[in-house]
Structure 1
Amino acid sequence: MAKTNEKIHVLADESLGGIKREYVEVDRKAIEGERIVIVEADCQSEYWNGDMAFVSRFVKDDSRFGYYAESILVNGQLIALYDREYRVLEPTNIVHIDGERYEMVDRKAEVDEKIVIIAPDDDLAVDGDIGKIATVTEVFSEEDIDASPMGWVKRSEYRVLVPAESSEEEPQPSDPIDVIANLATRVAELERENKRIKEDLGWNEMGPGRIAELRNADSDIRHDIAALEERVDNDYEESDAWAGSVNEKMSRLQDEIDTLHKDNRRHGEELEALKYAAKETDGKVAHLEADIEESFPATDAPLVFICRKPGRFEVYQDGKKLHGVMSVRINAKVGEFATHEIEYISGATEEERQ
């Protein structure tokens, strides 16, 4: 049995020969072959909220979402849906026959009860018997039955049709959220129809008679939109308690957002302070390097080599920095004279010394 607050769809079930069956929306990942309904469409140009499809397979996606469901709309169009975009339509045991609601019950039937064929036996029936309705005329000891107009029916072939309780047949109060969502969906459908009439059918290329006809249709659609918007307003007025709860939740969310903004500003201030401290440190390092550069050339040694960092060196001759130096090689052994080789760009050192 479906709960009264669940979203119910009455759809033809091909596995029951096309009998109308009640389905409920379930928020979970679908299984291949299941029927789904789109509730949060990402791509409004290919599919819309309310469209139904069957999941054919799941495909690996390189994005952070992982997998998407390759689905087929009722019109045959192939689309890709992520889990957040759809809800699964799970079949219930409630079917609609001749305008009445029945529950399919898996038990032995009694005389005069109605049954529905769900799985015909190969020896007694054919696939065309699926979904057929019959009335029990006799029950045998093996729980098989004789039914009109089917004849002999095995226990494994049928389900008993029990009229749904009268309380369930009475109209149930609508959830304000579902009512407003359905009305909003209907408004969007009417607006799309209005746009389609004007653009897809070539509003500016039609003759005066067709344009007048479309103008009347547009007027009717706008009237329907206004009526639906009025119903939405009325439903809002009748749902003050519900709206108050929503406002309270929105207020709490706004407080959380304000707190996040404050934390963000505080983090920004800390980041700026770190940037300023880094800038001061860079200045001190530059100043220290300048002091070192001024102090080392002051030595009386005729040739000075300075290595500040691995791979970076400076050469001073007679207190003057040599420019154009590309490499320096120093050979030194215990008990022998030290020698060195300096490779530099010709002319640069001479110009510096003049």
Structure 2
Amino acid sequence: MTHATIPQKMRAAVWGGESSRLTVETIPVPTPQADEALVKITACGVCHTDLHVLKGEVAFPAPAVVGHEISGEVVSIGEGTRSDGSIEVGTQVIGAFIMPCTQCEQCRAGRDDLCEKFFAENRLKGNLFDGTSRLTGAQGERLSMYSMAGMAEYAVVPMSALASRPENVPAEEGAILGCAAFTAYGAVRKSGLAEGETVAVVAVGGVGSSLIQVAKYQGAETVIAIDVADEKLEAARGLGADATVNSTDRDVREAVLELTDGKGVHVAFEALGRPETFTQAASLLREGGRMVAIGIAPGGVTGEVEISPLVRRGQTITGSFGAVTRIDLPAVAQLASDGGYRVKEAVTRKYSLDDVDAANQALNRGEITGRAIVVM
């Protein structure tokens, strides 16, 4: 169950914890255990969620390797793995950032997105489900894993977090299916979006631009993209947005009401995680409207919502961290295969692993429209 040409060493982007910078180091190639696969990484997405970790806005133990949306080839499967045969050595795969243990109460209830072990062990401690990391540094020191620690040439991934990549989905760009598209798909599903409804997307970065594609494919009649950058709004139109609003130029609520005959939208997605955009998204809802909050904020940050409209108009606000991995990751892969999610248009920049720090700094400066990827 192992490819014959696996090296002993690999290059990985390591975060030391002292600053937000990444350095490329040579470290041992990890070994998968039962129910895990070793994936030779083709590409890994550059995401704001990693950036929150690098900037210390989300608590995570350093030193670590980040990177949580990947594409690649399975080159080894851990001894004792229970497999249905869908993922084997040689399978081209994508990997989701939510890696369900499959055994906890939430996973047994079909809520992979609330997996108890994933949040307790991986997101809090940088481990896999057995309470240990698979990564060590050049001197043998432990390295934490953020999801599968995909910003490296190889990564150990739980089998539960993998799906095969359809042949007609590009290998490099397909990496973004595991977070940008996956997160958008889960949010649209939780919104209960019905065909013919109107949608507002507040902040059209990697996830926001993905929301446009998924919402249009699911039947939204009108999608309104809202951002502060004209370049991002122009790109949003190219991905299917029917109207755009630059919030630095005009009052967003007033603009949305004009576009919706004074009623507001059926569904508003907030994809940035800032108090002002959270409040803004809630203000755009019509009677019975639903807001889905997706953007991650630093710990302790709150957003204000006016109470009376929420109560009197029967509105709802829900959070959505991702999707249900074992069901939705294959569905997202099929969505891309069917043309409902155009990964080549969603990916706007490619970096080499040597330039991974530059990629994150560009993201931090707000220079990346859509999604960037690091190609190994």
Give the TM-score taking structure 2 as reference length.
0.18
Which structure has the larger Rg? 1
Higher relative contact order (CA 8 A, sep 6+): 2
- Of Structure 1 and Structure 2, which has the larger fraction of its residues in helix? 1
TM-score, length basis structure 1: 0.19
Structure ranking higher in strand proportion? 1
